[in-house]
Amino acid sequence: MGFLRLFTKHKPKIKVESIKRDGFSGWVKCSHCGEMVHAKEMQEHHQCCPKCKHHYRFSAWQRIELLADEGSFQELFTDLAPSDPLNFSDTESYQERIARAQAKTDRLDAVYVGTCRLKDQEIALGVMDFSFMGGSMGSVVGEKITRLIELAIEKELPLVLVCASGGARMQESCLSLMQMAKTSAALAKLHEKALPYVAVLTNPTTGGVTASFAALGDIILAEPDALIGFAGPRVVEQVIRQKLPATAQKSEFLLEKGMIDGIVSRAEMKEKLAFFISFLHKRAVSPPLKELLAAVKEKKKKSKMLAIL
């Protein structure tokens, strides 16, 4: 019998001690690889499966704790709350949806914005909260992100936006769509000041967010296997009447096509962000570059004047 065991594959067993201590409720089955993983181990790996590295959904506050140096995050513009100017109602009123989302998340809307230190570098940080109405962008989300960008310009801070959204919030109609233009215009001003902006795309990032500030980063990073696109895969399939490949609209596909600059695991995200920010920001605030940008701007003005004449 002992000899036969040499030729028999044995699957790793769950430790009896762990089951006795925590019960089966302490274990979760990875939906990606099917392995049993202890919940504490999953938490230690930032909600990633330690076996197959599949990234599960991560709350906005968990992201802040992961990226910001301990105790350094200072939230801003916390008094902004959504209104219902259109008195919108479908199966239920917009006011009821907002109230339910606020009770569920203990948040006024779908984004955290503020300043923090990341590896001892001060940055402006925005993190979208997908648990609040699918991270949809309404007038409050757009306003908070715009104010954060303006603060970054005023204080000459690098900007990091972590995106997780289903797109523009339909209950606010054109008011939500205008946030795409507003945030993009604010980022254009940030770009004029040569201040770095790193966009981090997580699962999922779709709709008007993808079509605006999520796609305008100087560096665009994404988590592995994240769904990124404008229309979701089900909508695309209904329009083209074809089944999309499983890899379509995934971060790996977008990297291959050049839409994003890199795929970074959650565990490595802080280190990578610190590297890019340090590299870009030191050059952005250096006097020689500022003088060069001013000279280029002046030259453009003169060229326009000559063209008019």
Rounded Cα–Cα distance for residues 112 and 98 (Å): 17
Instruction: Please tell me the predicted confidence (pLDDT) of residue 28.
Output: 87
The 3 state secondary structure assigned to 43-101 is: HHCCCECCCCCCECCCCHHHHHHHHCCCCCCEECCCCCCCCCCCCCECCCEHHHHHHHH
C-alpha to C-alpha distance for 234 and 219, rounded to whole angstroms? 29
pLDDT at position 246: 86
Give the N- to C-terminal CA distance of the chain in Å, as an integer.
97
Residue 63 φ/ψ, nearest 5 degrees: -65, -40
CATH numbers and ranges of domains, the chain: 1-56 (no CATH), 58-282 (3.90.226.10)
What is the reported pLDDT for 173?
A: 94
The pLDDT assigned to 172 comes to 96
Q: How far is CA 68 from the centre of its chain?
A: 14
Q: What is the pLDDT along the chain (309 residues), one digit of tens a residue?
A: 555 555 555 554 444 444 444 445 688 889 899 999 988 999 999 999 999 999 999 999 999 999 999 999 999 999 999 999 999 999 999 999 999 999 999 999 999 999 999 999 999 999 999 999 999 999 999 999 999 999 999 999 999 999 999 999 999 999 999 999 999 999 999 999 999 999 999 999 999 999 999 999 999 999 999 999 999 888 999 999 999 898 899 999 999 999 999 999 999 999 999 999 999 987 555 555 556 666 766 766 666 555 554
Q: How far apart are CA 67 and CA 161, in angstroms?
A: 11
